[in-house]
Chain A
Amino acid sequence: MQDLKKRIVRSVVLICLCNVIITSVYADIAVIVHPTNNSVLDQKSIERIYMGKLKSFENGRSALPINASKGAATREEFNRLLMGRSDSQLTAFWSKLMFTGKGTPPMELATDQDILATVSANQDAIGYVDAASVTDTVKVVKIYNKGTSK
Chain B
Amino acid sequence: MKYLQLVWLFVGCAFTFSSSAEIQISGYGSIIAGKTLGSVDDPINLGQRRDETFTADFYDVGQYTNDLSFNTESILSVQGVYALSSQFSVTTQVVAKGVDDFTPEVDWYYATYRPTEDWTFMAGRRNIPMYYYSEFSEVGYAYPWMRPPANLYWWQITQFNGVHAMYTFNWGDTSNTITSFYGNEYSDDNKEMGFYEVLFGGKDSTRVEENWTSIAGVNWNVSGSLSESVFYDVRFVYFQHELERINHIVDADNTMLLTSQKFFGFGGSVDIPNVTVLFDFNFVTRDDVLGTEYPTYLVSLVYHYDSFHPYISYSKADSKRTEGSLPTAELEEHYISSVGIRYDFLPNIAFKAQIDRFVDQGYVPDGWNYHGDARVVSAGIDFIF
Contact = CB atoms under 8 A, between A and B. Distances in A.
A48 B175 contact: yes
B271 to A, nearest CB: 8
A87 B26 contact: no
A98 interface: yes
Bin chain A's interface residue count.
20 to 34
Most chain B CB inside 10 Å of its own CB: which residue of A55, A95, A101: A101
Interface stretch (B10-18, B137-145, B208-216): B137-145
A45 B37 CA distance: 50
A88 interface: yes
Nearest to A85: B271
Interface in B93-148: 93, 110, 112, 117, 120, 122, 126-127, 135-136, 139, 141-143
A87 B223 contact: no
B347 A150 contact: no
B175 A91 contact: no
Interface of B is mostly: strand
Contacts, number: 74
Nearest to B111: A101
B266 interface: no
Interface of A: 44, 48, 51, 53-56, 62, 70-71, 84-89, 91-93, 95-96, 98-102, 149-150
Given A53-B223, A54-B175, A101-B112, 9 more contacts: A70-B348, A84-B229, A92-B143, A95-B28, A96-B139, A99-B139, A100-B127, A102-B166, A149-B228
Interface of B: 26, 28, 77, 79, 91, 93, 110, 112, 117, 120, 122, 126-127, 135-136, 139, 141-143, 166, 168, 170, 173, 175, 177, 223, 225, 228-229, 231, 271, 304, 307, 344, 347-348, 350, 384
